[in-house]
Structure 1
């Protein structure tokens, strides 16, 4: 299964996401702010980052921008994990570099499908590059 970095400052939200992902067989690491996410992502190289957008120290929008600008982390899929789910918020998340959005509160099956989709897409791209 995948290694997933959860970036979430609300302990209850972080615990729920961790439990669901662990139960699905994934390895999970979590941090509580965007600044920590940058360093952990660079060293851990997770398969997917689940990024809250309202974070202390460095918000999720800016953390995602920086991850996507860094050659060491730009290929890691980032899924916005947010209560900011209005159309303008979704556009802003995608403009920052988020590959997908999971709105809170979330439905567990959809949550896991989005994670699985984010894991599979980079694998498909890399296989396509190998064939080229």
Structure 2
């Protein structure tokens, strides 16, 4: 997907006067489509987040272990390990179990949504996603993390 001038247009419409999320929380963004990953990381940057990128499931697991992000935004359809398997492995790791995982995926059927949430994702957004919905979810889970684990 290509979104010309989207980031520039978003700067004026996002955050509705809210301050950025505190202290640049670290978000792991995972998507095998480089354009989608670039867009997602630019959006997360606008939300005040520091981003780490991964383009497949193994890279996502490695980055999660190495960097222990505050939140993971995960595509489910990945070329090696699918997102469901990534979630299951993260949920089995005691050092990572507390990290909220938000699925952002093209899988849009009710049974897909249910399977993704049952695997351990805290939220689900189907592509193309509404940026305001993503912002609400990101802020909700990052502020919850800071309150509980901060």
For normalisation by structure 2, the TM-score amounts to: 0.80
Partner of residue 46 from structure 1, selected from 69, 77, 80: 69
Residues 50 and 81, structure 1, Cα contact 8 Å, conserved in 2: yes
Matched, 1:10 2:37: no
- Cα offset, 1:104, TM superposition: 0.8
Q: Partners in 1 of 2:47 and 2:147 — Cα distance? A: 21
Q: Partners in 2 of 1:57 and 1:107 — Cα distance? A: 27
Residues 4 and 48, structure 1, Cα contact 8 Å, conserved in 2: yes
- Cα offset, 1:36, TM superposition: 1.0
Aligned to 1:120: 143
Partner of residue 87 from structure 1, selected from 98, 101, 110: 110
Q: For 2:51, what is the secondary structure of its paired residue? A: strand
Stretches (4+) displaced over 4 A: none
Q: Partners in 1 of 2:130 and 2:63 — Cα distance? A: 27
Which structure 2 residues correspond to residues 44-83 of structure 1 after superposition, within 5 A? 44-83=67-106
Q: Partners in 2 of 1:123 and 1:85 — Cα distance? A: 30
Structure with max Cα Rg: 2
Q: For 1:22, what is the secondary structure of its paired residue? A: helix
- Cα offset, 1:22, TM superposition: 0.9
Give ranges in structure 1 of 5+ residues lacking alignment: 128-132
For normalisation by structure 1, the TM-score amounts to: 0.91
Q: For 2:147, what is the secondary structure of its paired residue? A: helix
Q: Partners in 1 of 2:112 and 2:140 — Cα distance? A: 21
